[in-house]
Amino acid sequence: MLFVFQVYPANLTAQNTINQKWSLDGYLSNMQTILDIDSLNGYWLYQSQFHNRLNLKLYPVSPLLISVGARNRLIFGDMVRMDFSGEYARSLGQEAGWMDLSFNLLEKNSYILNTNIDRLFFQLQLNKLWITVGRQRINWGQTFVWNPNDWFNTYSFFDFDYEERPGSDAVRIQYFTGFTSSAEVAVKLDHDENITAAFLLKMNKWQYDFQLLGGVLAGKDYGIGAGWSGQIRNMGFRGELNYFRPIENFKDTAGLFFASIGLDYIFDNSLMLQFEGLYNQQPEGSDQEDFVDYYQKSLSVKDLSITEWSLFGQVSYPVTPLLTGTLSGMIFPKLRGYFIGPNVTYSLSDNLDFSFVLQVFSGEFSNYEGIDKRRTIHLGFLRFKYNF
């Protein structure tokens, strides 16, 4: 067992970092994945990945910040070995963004080395006005699992190994109107040169954060939205609402409505409970998606779950200060389906963590004959992650 004892160099941090011209941090992880479809007794797909993330920040002159972030992944295992069509390799090299910054540096029969620059922006911090240009993460979410307000990069709850998420190729102008309020405008171009352009107003009142947003989503819909974070007694209470209506046939269509509402509470013994519900209106006559599609594709705020209604619950508890156990679950009523995700994370040292994660998806899907058949997918992950 790796047991690296790390003493954090406190004296280094005691230095004044304000005058430093740059910073570099990141992590290195190794994750083993098994994937099983339908029966645990079948053939498991096995995959392994070394994942290195680097975040570089430069502060060359006073109001300017330059940020570059990259993830480098060495992937090997069955998905690569059995990728005879080259589709898997292509999907890794593919970009959702306008700039093409994902590169398969090496593409061999048994392994792929991919580099993806997912942050590349400069930011001018001019008193109350911030201007950010380039590939950046614009995160407008208020809830924790499904984020209808997160128009620029949606978060996938299942992809726990990539919490940074891809960046948006965008221009963002933020104006801080007060200590806890701001107004901003952001414009993003995606791979197909569709424009997402929106404003966001944020304010704090009655111990609640409120936000209001509106604009154009991916060149196809007009949308408005609102979100909040506050509390009911001691419980966190958050929500996000969206309404989209196609630009084409604006008069003839009713539009689609989306809402997520969540509650969170931490007990005195650190036990944390979270609940969230999502209403995700689906266009009439749309096909039922499969779990595999749901899991893999990059999410859009118009497509946050595979069913119209989804419910989430999670309990998390630090069994010891080093060992945290979490059990997450989702219910997809229309599919008589569920997701169960137990996981444990153990802190091996200040900088090294070990995680064991299971994800089980199950639901009834119509096959080509129109007969409902239960499909169950099992995923298992073992991960060591070293932060630096």
Query: Where does this chain bind other proteins (CB under 8 A)?
Result: 5-11, 13-14, 17-18, 20, 25, 27, 125, 128, 130, 136-139, 141-142, 144, 155, 163-165, 176, 178-180, 182, 204, 207-209, 229-231, 233-238, 264-268, 270, 272, 274, 314, 316, 318, 320-322, 324, 326, 343, 345, 347, 350-351, 353, 387-388
Question: What is the DSSP code (8-state) at residue 2?
Answer: -
Smallest distance, Å, CB 55 to other proteins? 9
> In the complex, what is the shortest distance from the CB of residue 110 to other proteins, in angstroms, rounded to a whole number?
32
Q: How far is the CB of 157 from other proteins (least distance, A)?
A: 9
Half-sphere exposure of 222 (CA within 13 A, CB side): 8
- The distance of closest approach from Cβ of residue 26 to other proteins in the complex, given in angstroms and rounded to an integer, is 8
Specify the residue, 221 or 276, whose C-beta has the smaller distance to other proteins: 276
Using DSSP's 3-state secondary structure scheme, residue 199 falls into strand
Distance from C-alpha of 220 to C-alpha of 194, rounded to nearest angstrom: 8
Shortest distance, CB of residue 388 to other proteins, whole angstroms?
Answer: 5
Judged by beta carbon, residue 91 or residue 270, the one nearer other proteins is 270
* In the complex, least distance from residue 202 CB atom to other proteins, rounded to whole angstroms: 8
Which of residues 236 and 380 has its CB atom nearest to other proteins in the complex?
A: 236
Which CB atom, from 139 or from 281, has the smaller least distance to other proteins? 139
Cβ proximity to other proteins: between 266 and 360 the closer is: 266
| Shortest spacing between CB 154 and other proteins, in angstroms | 12
Q: Between 321 and 370, whose beta carbon lies closer to other proteins?
A: 321
Cα dihedral sign, 78-83-89-92: negative
SS3 334: helix
Nearer to other proteins, 93 or 239 (CB): 239
Cα–Cα distance measured from residue 337 to residue 375, given in angstroms and rounded to the nearest whole number: 9
The residues, any chain, with a CB within 8 Å of residue 145's CB and separated by 6 or more, are: 157, 260, 262, 274, 276, 278, 312
In the three-class reduction of DSSP (H, G, I as helix; E, B as strand; rest coil), residue 270 is classed as: coil
**Strand boundaries in the chain, DSSP class E:** 22-37, 45-58, 64-77, 102-107, 111-126, 129-136, 168-175, 182-189, 195-205, 208-217, 221-232, 235-246, 256-266, 272-280, 309-320, 323-332, 337-347, 352-366, 372-387
Dig out the tokens for 183 from the structure.
């107004």
